[in-house]
Structure 1
Amino acid sequence: MAEENSTVSLQSGLFAAADVLRSKMDANEYKKYILGIVFYKYLSDQQLYKLAEDAGKDDVTLDVAQETYEDNLEEGDLLEEVKSELGYMIGPEYTYTKILANANNGSFQLNQLKDAFTQLESQGNSFEGLFEDFDLYSRQLGQNLQKQTDTIVGVIKAIGKLELVNTPGDTLGDAYEYLISQFASESGKKAGEFYTPQEVSELLARLTLVGKDYSNGMTVYDPAMGSGSLLLNFKKYVPNSSRITYYGQEINTSTFNLARMNMILHRVDLANQKLRNGDTLDEDWPAEEITNFDSVVMNPPYSQKWKADKGFLDDPRFSKYGVLPPKSKADYAFLLHGFYHLKHSGAMAIVLPHGILFRGAAEGKIRQKLLEEGAIDAVIGLPANLFHSTSIPTTIVVLKKDKQDRSVLFIDASKEFEKVKTQNKLRQEDIDKILKTYEERPADVEKYAHLASFDEIKENDFNLNIPRYVDTFEPEPEIDLRDVAKELRDIDQQINENEKELVGMLKELTSSDDDIMAGLQSIIEDFEEEIR
């Protein structure tokens, strides 16, 4: 309970800090300021606490730790030890505690924070370029330097109140995830693509872990990692999570940097992070390192355009299928990329639009080839409106390379969810039901699941549209015609009574105009004729 309360308090504090910027710009813009400053404070505070501890002082405040740092500037061995343990060293004039003190006494200048970021970025590849899109002089922050400074000071002071290091477990990481989800929710389609809802992330990760034991370590890969939330779910469900190595690639530089920060705030060792800023489809990666992953998970952008140049037919990711996914829809390009990098004993789970289940031409040929190989293990239909970036219903495809047969399990989970404001959300019971059904692989679950043989799929011309295999039709309830007749009689009677009442009211009307009275009398006679 203490950890839960800590998370809630931290979440509310972090989101309150966003109020400083909320009126100035869209969440897609201001998220980088909030998340970047939170990240910097975490690194700074971690260093101060560690330095004070190594200097023999426990349970100190950040102000005391700052004093300890400044008093020990000549102790080279102490500082080198801290830097060796943490992998960085923030100068005493650039710690968040020093910056906050300057903000409180009115001496803060924007270049102090800018120089602080630059110093951190210079300390190796792990931090290089982290703040390159962090524009402290943006006119969105204010129309002049003073207003820009005032805005950033407001953010610094708000975040300065929060304890970010001495939190239990992954409290900070979870609060950071919450903040990312809120930004995605506020931004909608503008920024939703960089965030996969936690419920979907959990389901994807756990689907690839069914029947596996990775207590001795594993590698996971997300070629379209966004903010890294999907990868980080493995940390929750794998024993000895310190032995997980995370591989991820993201094309958007801002989102890539966000993923790097997210990993560090979830206390993932830098040595276990293999992240890259690049285009997954244009240039295969990883190419020279380990390319066979225990788990591959992905929620790529749906039906995105890609090059699809003929040269890709010689690319080992696509060559065995004889055709390329169409230029207008890269869905299968992402799927084949991930499947190529899957270990023979591993599992892959990818979210895509339903079109990949039944579209023909090149996609149909690729789908048939995968089915003939026995690569597709399950097709799971999800509810509509789960994602901030789109309201369309989606499907999860689970793939394996070591299947013993070519059957496919179909699950229709599209009707099981709860509505939260304008979004639909998978409940824990919904996730558990999907996982239980996937693990048990029953022949049939009425109106929910069906295990289709290869021959059955072949008879359907390799069309994987879920309604072909799972009948969820609900017949209309039988209608009692006697009840319908009685209801019609009651309605007629009510109309008759209303017309009588109306005629009575019309008869009370008078006018000195003979034409009006004649017209009125005609209307009354028509009603009286109908009533009879």
Structure 2
Amino acid sequence: MTQQELERYLWGAATALRGTIDAGDYKQYIFPLLFFKRISDVYDEEFSNALAESDGDLEYAAFAENHHFQIPEGAHWNNVREKTVNIGTALQEAMRAIEQANPNALFGIFGDASWTNKDRLSDAILTNLIEHFSQHKLNVSNVPDDQLGNAYEYLIKEFADDSGHTAAEFYTNRTVVKLMTLIMDPQPGESVYDPTCGSGGLLLNCALHLKDEGKEYRTLKLYGQEVNLLTSAIARMNMFMHGIEEFSIVRGNTLTHPAFLEDDQLKTFNVILANPPYSIKAWDRKAFESDPYGRNLWGTPPQGCADYAFQQHIQKSLDKKNGRSITLWPHGILFRDTEADMRRKMIEQDLVECVIGLGPNLFYNSPMEACLLITKTNKEASRKGKVLIINAVSEVRQDKNIAFLEPQHIERIYAAYKAFQDQNGFCKVVGIDQVLSHKASLNMSLYVSNVNSSDTKISLNEALQNWMQSSAELKKSMDELFRVIG
């Protein structure tokens, strides 16, 4: 199959659920089925290869050493396919058996979908789904890791587009991910962490970035934490689908129960990339006041906005020698008064290297503008005491209700970051004293304005005419409204 054919084939499974299940719930059924089919087909392929190697020795072919994952007797895809009644129960039992046979790698990976709820998933619907996935072998020789991984990412995006309100919690705009990865520039052997990893896109792209550069990507150590059970399972499947096996993704709340500890302290990492949930109100502020891990470095954020709780967690989790982080936030984190004291301490400690203002609509279902906050525990000598402000709000392409960065946008922003020099109307290097004199505000417009005033100047007469025209149009539409409702 070509990449396009594979994507069409996989998306076809979702169409079988239309009308019976909410679009936001497709992923909890489609992803586990796809993963179940993949590991069953790969197991068969490995069995066949081992059989050929051993001149038909069945016992040798079944040895655990010859297989990535163990599939217990009766828990193979083909066993479930033979069922004609209570298919949901058979699926659930097979998935649990596989998880139990591979406790270190696959525990909980199939999520907690209600396979046995026949009001939702009748035997007929499940039969259609299983037969749809049974059309093609999804083993490695037929569908290599790269191809399946790309198709899996395609599905994640399609589910995000289709499900609307649930998208942001597990999907970060992939063009922004590309820019974030370029800037962080992870190297072989380094540790990379995402404290709110969603479906794992940021972590995964670090490995794929090294792979594209022809570097040893398998020595990269990937760590992620995700509060949502299904989303954390999708992230783990995402890694396996791309052929990446050295990773640790843990389900849990990063603020209340950080997963990665060493000697009762937070584990530290070389690189942190994150797109945390923004401005959450339901968080344990009281516990953060006396945080046992010392994450309240700059203070305790207000109850109505946990943004700086995540930012301080990130800072505390960075390696002291060469730690670097990049976090996707709404612009408010740069200038809100309620966080001014915390922001001032962050700037005084010379941790902020660069701030990049991005355009609107890069968050799902939100027109707000995004920004990237880049920090380093140990800046290069030439960058100490300075912050680079890049106002790239115009470097974006709008497409329906979502925006994205085109290659030339990514290239321009990345080149400006690397150069770390003033560029008229686009970026400016400012001293931290200057930032502190503006009440520690990193608001873009204080330092860089890229609004072309020559394009926006109009005469007083033109302004008056525009106002009169819009007033007349408003009166006409109101008259029409009153006529309709009258």
Amino acid at match of 1:136: W
Match of residue 28, structure 2, among 29, 32, 45: 32
Alignment match of 1:273 (pick from 232, 247, 269): 247
Map 1:449-468 → 2, pairs under 5 A: 449-468=427-446
Q: Rg larger in 1 or in 2?
A: 1
Matched, 1:48 2:44: yes
Shift of 1:202: 1.4
| CA distance in 2: counterparts of 1:312 and 1:163, whole angstroms | 54
> Does the C-alpha gap of structure 1 residues 480 and 225 become closer, same or farther in structure 2, counting only changes over 3 Å?
closer
Aligned twin of 1:438: 417
Cα displacement string for residues 189-242 of structure 1 (whole angstroms, at most 9, x for unaligned residues): 223321112111111222111xx6x23x11100000011111100112122111
Equivalent residue in structure 2 for 1:174, among 145, 150, 154: 150
Aligned to 2:59, which of 76, 81, 104?
76
Distance in 1 (CA, whole Å) between partners of 2:258 and 2:87 is: 44
1:360 correspondence with 2:337: yes
- Partner residue in 2 for 1:229: 201
How many Å apart are 1:24 and its aligned residue? 1.4
Gaps of 5+ in 1: 59-67, 143-147, 488-532
3-state SS of 1:335 partner: helix
Query: How far is 1:349 from its partner?
Result: 0.3
> 8 Å contact 1:370–1:376 — kept in the other structure?
yes
Letter in 1 for 2:251: N
Q: Which residue of 2 aligns with 1:373?
A: 349
* Cα distance in 2 between the residues matched to 1:244 and 1:330: 30
User: What corresponds to 1:7 in structure 2?
Assistant: 3
Map of 1:291 onto structure 2: 267
Report deviation, 1:98: 4.1
**Paired residue type of 2:273:** V
Q: Percent of pairs identical after alignment?
A: 29
Instruction: Tell me the SS of whatever aligns to 2:197.
Output: coil
Alignment pair present for 1:131 and 2:127: no
Amino acid at match of 1:357: L
Q: 1:465 to 1:85 in 2, by over 3 A?
A: farther
Summarize the Cα distance change of 1:226–1:409 in structure 2 as closer, same or farther, 3 Å threshold.
Answer: same
Shift, 1:317, TM fit: 3.8
Taking structure 1 as the reference length, the TM-score comes to 0.79
1:394 aligns with 2:390: no
Equivalent residue, structure 1, for 2:191? 219
Residue number among 174, 180, 193 corresponding to 2:169 in the alignment:
193
Matched residue SS, 1:134 = coil
Cα gap change, 1:163/1:433 in structure 2, threshold over 3 Å: closer, same or farther?
Answer: farther
Q: Within 1, Cα distance between the matches of 2:155 and 2:8?
A: 9
The SS at the match of 1:471 is coil
Return 5+ residue gaps in structure 2 as ranges.
466-486
The answer as to whether partners of 2:222 and 2:247 remain within 8 angstroms in 1 is yes
SS at match of 1:53: helix
**Structure 2 CA distance for partners of 1:341 and 1:416, relative to 1, 3 Å:** same
Report whether the alignment pairs 1:426 with 2:405.
yes
Q: 1:157 aligns with which of 131, 134, 148?
A: 131
- 3-state secondary structure, aligned to 2:363: coil
Q: Distance in 1 between matches of 2:6 and 2:204?
A: 20
Q: Compared with structure 1, are the counterparts of its residues 251 and 423 closer, same or farther at alpha carbon in structure 2 (3 Å cutoff)?
A: same
Output the amino acid matched with 1:159: F
Q: Which residue identity is paired with 1:262?
A: N
C-alpha contact 1:408 1:454 (8 A) present in aligned 2: yes
SS in 2 for 1:293: coil
Query: Structure 1 CA distance, aligned partners of 2:134 and 2:165?
Result: 31
Give the number of aligned pairs: 450
Shift of 1:412: 1.3
Deviates more, 1:229-238 or 1:288-297: 288-297
Secondary structure of 1:279's partner? coil
**1:499-510 to 2 correspondence within 5 Å?**
none
Q: What's the CA shift for 1:255?
A: 0.9
Q: Secondary structure at the match of 2:453?
A: coil
Give distance in 2, aligned partners of 1:410 and 1:163: 51
